[in-house]
Amino acid sequence: MNISKQFITLIKRTAILVTVIICSEALAQPEEKPIAIMLGEHGPAGCQLLGRVTGTSHDGKTEADNTPYLNRLIDARNNLRNETRKLGGNTVHIKYANNSGKYEVPSGNKEIVFIGNAYHCE
């Protein structure tokens, strides 16, 4: 079996091109910085208040939800972080939490709600 030099050169160039495309895609993705979540009576000291944010376990969902409790909790926290990020914040102080979705009550509301204030802290 004899592979021509032109074919080998074509394979090498294709591999280089694919590598460049993959690297440029990875570099083009903005790095998401973590959002700190705080609980307690007082918000963070020395930070700029950006506004009120809400995160729920049902954002964008309209059908009956049989999602496990842990997944609903993670969804609510992620939605709270996303709202904080939209305002340019890096910290959220939870002021109110409705966590009744932990209990499986027939025909009861399983929604988890977090309401808080978004801050930008240095």
User: Does residue 79 lie in a domain region?
Assistant: yes
Give yes or no for a contact between 87 and 51, defined as CB atoms under 8 angstroms apart.
yes
Number of domains in the chain: 1
Per-residue tokens: 22:
């993959």
For residue 90, give the DSSP letter. Answer: S
* CATH of residue 49: 3.30.110.70
What residue numbers bound the domain in which 105 lies? 33-120
SS3 55: strand
User: Does residue 103 lie in a domain region?
Assistant: yes
SS3 52: strand
Write out pLDDT tens, residues 96-111: 888 765 565 555 667 8
What's the pTM value of the predicted model, to 2 decimals?
0.66
CB within 8 Å of 62: residues ≥ 6 apart = none
User: Does residue 99 lie in a domain region?
Assistant: yes
User: Does residue 7 lie in a domain region?
Assistant: no
Write out pLDDT tens, residues 38-89: 888 888 899 999 999 999 987 555 445 577 888 888 889 999 999 999 999 9
Per-residue tokens: 91:
């910290």
